[in-house]
Chains A and B, each alone.
Chain A
Amino acid sequence: MIHFKNVSKAYGDHQVLKDIDVSINKGEITVILGPSGCGKSTLLKLINKTILPDEGDIYLNKQNIRDIQDTTLKRSIGYAIQGVGLFPHMSVKENISTVPKLLKWDKRTIDNRVQALMEMMELPETFSKKYPIHLSGGEAQRVGVARALAGNPEILLMDEPFGALDPITRGKLQRKLLNIQKKLHKTIVFVTHDVSEALLLADELILMKDQSILKKDHPYKIVTEAKALLKTFTGGSFAFELLEKFRISDIVDQLTGLQDFDGYCLHEDISLKEVVSEMILQGKSQLTVRNNHQYYRLDFYSLMDLAKRKHYE
């Protein structure tokens, strides 16, 4: 889908990207993870020509983006940033309909689109007339994501969009993004320096450091095979983040059911990370879980395997 070929970029003497050679798959969430100043945001901005590379080429569906007109390219790519950047003089509705208006859609189509997006982002209809100053951080960011999706772009670029939010709101929005992605299958390029966020969201993970790409792989593979590498980014608890991604309801189809059960059991809405936490608290390596009035036995030693299988699905 997106292909970087020997791309380099420098600001004066300061090299920000060195010889980047990477492709990003269609319909997946590709997370670029790296410390501040590693060039990950620059990499993102190269995609919609906010920044032009000094050397090398970027291809979008095999077409060199140098051959695509600036505004056409930008209007076909959604873009959400940490500061949200909602237009303060426009209502929520006007904000969301910015790109459709630039694309000269007709009014009915725009209205329907805005309504659908607000429903999808769980923004009440009364919000459409509100101004950004009256929104909380989480609400503003949801509007920001809706605005980025408004033109129905194939590609969505997200530059630490949840970075400024409190942990609870951030968690909700991450879940929300995963849910939306299940329906929309956009090609999402997501930049973050938060390891748990990266492991939670990524279908494909790109590790960046010192202006270049260290590794690009499936997050499960990165966690299990390149442990030492990941430790340079954070501590060693990343297996939990991987388990955080799945809920009991996601993996029950791989479990064998119990005939009948009467006693303590876990709910299907709980994530695998919480299951582990529960096991540690209770000092048991096996727990019973419930899904749709069916009971299953979940074993500690099978957890990572289940997650792995789920990952490769």
Chain B
Amino acid sequence: MNHGKQYRITTGMGLLLILCGYLTNRFLIVKPNRILEGTVINMPAVIKDKPILFTAFFLLLAGMIFIISKEKIKWYFTSAVVTFVIILFLYGVGLYSQEVITDFTQVARVSLSIGFWFVFLGLMIVLDSSCHYDGNFQVNRLIGFLGIILFFIFVMLNQGYFDQIGIIKEMHIRNEQYWIAVKGHLLLSLIASLMGLFIGVLLSYIGYKHKKYKKYFILVSNGAQVIPTLSFLGLLMIPLTLLAKKYAFLKVLGISGIGYFPALIVLTSYTLLPIINQSITGFETISRDVIISAEAMGMKPMEVFWRIEFPLALPGILSGFKIALVQSTANCILAGLVGGGGLGALLFLGLAQSASDLVALSALTVVMMAMILNGILSVVIGSMKKRKGFI
């Protein structure tokens, strides 16, 4: 299939999602407080309230459909239009929410509902596929436009446009708690991935040098992946508690059946598979001649590793690390269940209180964190490959 056509189809699917969001009954919910059922509002009602804004919104959408039906127009232009549409959409929803909440009590809020997320997701899909044209994924273009969108979201957030939106309200109410959770989440995922990186590269190198160990390391990393996350946490609880009881110094270090430690072990174990897989591939693709030359030039084994093998395997190692980090960011939610902190704690709190806004806030933050980390590492790996003449 021709690439242009393929991305035209994904664009179409995005537009379809937007249509679904438009037709769904639940676009926004105006709630008197976080628990009570509120009044459901659909998108047409919002549009009726802000006609000028949303007329512009639809005109632009229509314009875009026209653009993608033409072969010759640059898709760069499409990306710009979608970006503008997304900002306009968020601005409209923010403006509406500000006006619909009349009593400025702390508790009344506008919750974003399924319709909103449909439209938002649809717009994101359209933006993404507009960066794919001609079969090349223009990462820099996508990152650039996402940056513009984030910038405007930040400005509007600062100006208080979103203050009446449920998830933002939750963020404001729990300001301190939220940022501690974000920090904890990031730290836990990062430490687990770094530990996985260290252990994984070490095992990969041993496996690469001594083929007989390779299958055991792969077996272990695969095995860790097979155990469901939750049961893994449960399995660790008893032995760790017993250990902490027996040796007092472990308790001083904060090691026990609950808390950050079991979460760290579980997360680290999960990072091993991607890191070991990618690193071993990275090491094994190094040409035999290169190693022979390095050794014949009188490099000691450590020099061969640091000067030749490690730098050559680095792109592979880093792409394993990227997968591990993104995966850890998602898995780290479960740390909340065992008192490991992070955004999982907030998410499960929200679930327990059936406060959907809090759940949405935590989940959304995790998604964004994963996307940003993925983006950063992709750019780093890409530039490294380009600089070193790998492509």
Contacts and interface: CB of A to CB of B under 8 A. Distances in A.
B389 A133 contact: yes
B105 interface: no
Contacts of B389: 88-89, 130-134
Interface in B342-391: 388-390
Contacts of B293: 79, 81, 84-87
A134 B300 CA distance: 28
Given A88-B389, A89-B312, A102-B303, A81 B294 contact: no
Contacts of A98: 297
Contacts of B307: 87
B136 interface: no
A83 interface: yes
Contacts of B303: 102
Contacts of B297: 74-75, 79, 98-99, 102, 147
Interface stretch (B25-33, B155-163, B183-191, B284-292): B284-292
Interface residues of A, number: 28
A70 B298 contact: yes
B62 interface: no
A73 interface: yes
Contacts of A82: 289
B298 A85 contact: no
A68 to B, nearest CB: 11
Interface in A63-110: 70-76, 79, 81-89, 98-99, 102
A294 interface: no
A125 B357 CA distance: 64
30 contacts: A48-B296, A70-B298, A71-B299, A72-B298, A74-B295, A74-B296, A76-B298, A79-B296, A79-B297, A81-B289, A81-B293, A83-B288, A83-B289, A83-B292, A84-B293, A85-B287, A85-B291, A85-B293, A87-B293, A87-B307, A89-B311, A89-B312, A89-B390, A98-B297, A99-B297, A102-B297, A102-B298, A102-B299, A133-B389, A134-B389
Interface of A: 48, 50, 70-76, 79, 81-89, 98-99, 102, 130-134, 147
Rank and list the top 7 A-B pairs by shortest CB-CB distance, nearest first.
A131-B389, A74-B298, A85-B293, A83-B289, A85-B289, A75-B298, A79-B296
Interface of B: 287-300, 303, 307-308, 311-312, 388-390
